[in-house]
Amino acid sequence: MKVDVLLGLQWGDEGKGKIVDVLTPKYDIIGRFQGGPNAGHTLEFNGIKHVLRTIPSGIFHEKAVNIIGNGVVIDPVVLIAEIEALIKMGVDVRSKLLLSTKAHLILPTHRLLDAASEAAKGKEKIGSTLKGIGPTYMDKTGRNGLRIGDIKTPNFKEKYNALVEKHKQLLNFHNFQYNLEELEPEWFKAIEALKTFQQIESEHYINEAFNDNKAILAEGAQGSLLDIDFGSYPFVTSSNTICAGACTGLGIAPNRIGKVFGIFKAYCTRVGSGPFPTELFDETGDKIRNKGREFGSVTGRPRRTGWLDLPALKYAVMINGVTELMMMKADILSGFETIQVCTHYNYKGEKIDYLPYDCAPEMLSPIYTNLKGWNQDLTGLHSPEQMPEALNEYISFIEREVGVPISIVSVGPDRTQTLMRKKKELV
């Protein structure tokens, strides 16, 4: 049985957490492959709403094992807080959560460096979540990082001190004011707590499970347009959010990848800076934001909103080899007389249907097709047959343009508000 991958096709917050939770009963193992506590994956069931940051979104199910892969960066303080919240809810985290020895650690100074770097950029800032993601991946590729496998070694404190000395020099270079003594005690306390959780050589574990025919789902964080190589650089995160990231972030060979589930919202959102070709600055944008509760699950920042961008979606589908699309938040588009979909861009006076290198707003403007909206409330629907005709047309339009079937239509945040389309209904 091949390893399936689930990832976001836009700028993050597409609803990955919800769908991983919905699909988990079909899998034995859920593995997060990149990112860190910059992520916020929301799950809702039985009236409970829960946001996961580092822990895979399969953790609420009885059977599945959840692995934090080598490609993830871990802030011990955030992870321990997540674990404690789950234990309080009665989740057996100790037996179901496994940490890769090769996952890198976010130090308190990484967070300070993130803040210093953003402050130095001024108006050009990335809009980072300031969780220390960029500096931690910099130390990983710079071959200076500390890993989960280091925490039980006798010279861990020395390694920590040596890295912190380097960071202090950088912080001084930025003239950044900080109080490390305030941050260190809780960090070391969390490290002690982490020592009691299961560490594994996750690449061996996953490949053995693969050989034993276990069903494995790789869970991505962020979205393809935030990918370090293929996103709107430099306004991106610092990891490979795309399908290839599942190979490097869990130790899965490319020929072992099976289905690739691409999650997208029925419209677009972005939090943080950077190009967003279909961004709306008017009442329609506000309506989508308010109705869709588009405020960051980690930082609470209002998300920027806009219509669906097909050239960008097609780009993400291409880079990831998406085999099935899953459309989220269809319910939020109820009540619009007309729904606009961007099919092309006007780029330097030319009509193009692809995402070009330079997608700054002054270079490129969206060209829309108008589709008919629907008024029906979708949140109580139980099957795709109940969907209004205009929604069926919206779905068919996207499938035709992108060339990949939409297998799930999500109509609300709860697990149960998930419409599974049958094969015959797909293009």
Catalytic residues: 13, 41
CB of 19 to Mg ion, least distance (A): 12
Q: Which of 6, 15, 9, 5 is nearest to 297 (CA)?
A: 15
Residue 39 sits in the site that holds ligand IMO (CB under 6 A): yes
Residue 294 sits in the site that holds ligand IMO (CB under 6 A): no
The β-bridge partners of 41 are 52
Judge residue 155's burial from the number of C-beta atoms within 10 Å of its C-beta, 0-12 exposed, 13-18 middle, 19 or more buried: exposed
288 sits in which H/E element: helix 283-291
CB of 407 to ligand GDP, least distance (A): 14
Task: Check: CB of residue 97 under 8 Å from CB of residue 197.
Answer: yes
> What is the footprint of Mg ion within residues 264-303 (CB under 5 A)?
297
Task: Check: CB of residue 408 under 8 Å from CB of residue 372.
Answer: no
Cα–chain-centroid distance for residue 352? Answer: 28
Question: Between residues 206 and 221, which has the closer beta carbon with respect to Mg ion?
Answer: 221
**Is the C-alpha dihedral spanning 69, 70, 72, 73 positive or negative?**
positive
Q: Show the binding pattern over residues 193-222: x = contacts Mg ion (CB under 5 A), - = does not.
A: ------------------------------
Question: Between residues 60 and 336, which has the closer beta carbon with respect to Mg ion?
Answer: 60
List the one residue from 40, 69, 145, 262 that touches Mg ion (CB under 5 A).
40
Q: Show the binding pattern over residues 121-160: x = contacts ligand IMO (CB under 6 A), - = does not.
A: -----xxxx-x-xx--------------------------
CA pair distance 313, 326, nearest whole angstrom: 12
CA pair distance 384, 84, nearest whole angstrom: 38
List the one residue from 13, 75, 139, 414 that touches ligand IMO (CB under 6 A).
13
Partner interacting with residue 203 (select from Mg ion, ligand IMO, ligand GDP, none; CB below 5-8 Å by kind): none
Instruction: Enumerate the H helices of 57-153 as residue ranges.
Output: 76-88, 93-96, 108-121, 133-141
List the one residue from 221, 280, 332, 398 that touches ligand IMO (CB under 6 A).
221
**Is the C-alpha dihedral spanning 343, 345, 351, 357 positive or negative?**
negative
Q: Show the binding pattern over residues 375-414: x = contacts ligand IMO (CB under 6 A), - = does not.
A: ----------------------------------------
Question: Between residues 272 and 285, which has the closer beta carbon with respect to ligand IMO?
Answer: 272
Residue that the structure tokens 């050009």 belong to: 124
Q: Using CB atoms, what's the residue nearest to ligand IMO?
A: 272
> What is the footprint of Mg ion within residues 3-22 (CB under 5 A)?
13
CA pair distance 96, 171, nearest whole angstrom: 38
Local structure of 146: helix, strand or coil: coil
Give the amino acid at 217.
L
CA pair distance 73, 218, nearest whole angstrom: 16
Question: Between residues 101 and 284, which has the closer beta carbon with respect to ligand GDP?
Answer: 284
Question: Between residues 73 and 116, which has the closer beta carbon with respect to ligand GDP?
Answer: 73
Express the helix, strand and coil content of the chain in percent, nearest 5 each. Answer: 35, 25, 40
CB of 305 to ligand GDP, least distance (A): 13
170 sits in which H/E element: helix 156-173
CA pair distance 144, 357, nearest whole angstrom: 32
Task: Check: CB of residue 256 under 8 Å from CB of residue 210.
Answer: yes
CB of 274 to ligand IMO, least distance (A): 6
CB of 289 to ligand GDP, least distance (A): 12
Q: Judged by CB under 5 A, how many residues of this single chain contact Mg ion?
A: 3
Cα–chain-centroid distance for residue 183? Answer: 27
Partner interacting with residue 44 (select from ligand GDP, ligand IMO, Mg ion, none; CB below 5-8 Å by kind): ligand GDP
Residue 8 sits in the site that holds ligand IMO (CB under 6 A): yes
Q: Which of 97, 48, 55 is nearest to 78 (CA)?
A: 55
CB of 39 to ligand GDP, least distance (A): 6
> What is the footprint of ligand IMO within residues 224-243 (CB under 6 A)?
226, 237
Partner interacting with residue 271 (select from ligand GDP, Mg ion, ligand IMO, none; CB below 5-8 Å by kind): ligand IMO
CB of 7 to ligand GDP, least distance (A): 9
Binding site residues, ligand GDP, CB under 6 A: 8, 12-18, 39-42, 44, 297, 328-329, 331-332, 410-413
Question: Between residues 121 and 168, which has the closer beta carbon with respect to ligand IMO?
Answer: 121
Cα–chain-centroid distance for residue 119? Answer: 25
Structure token digits, residue 276: 């967003």
Which residues of this chain interact with ligand IMO, rule CB under 6 A?
A: 8, 11-13, 35, 38-41, 126-129, 131, 133-134, 221-223, 226, 237, 271-272
Which residues of this chain interact with Mg ion, rule CB under 5 A?
A: 13, 40, 297
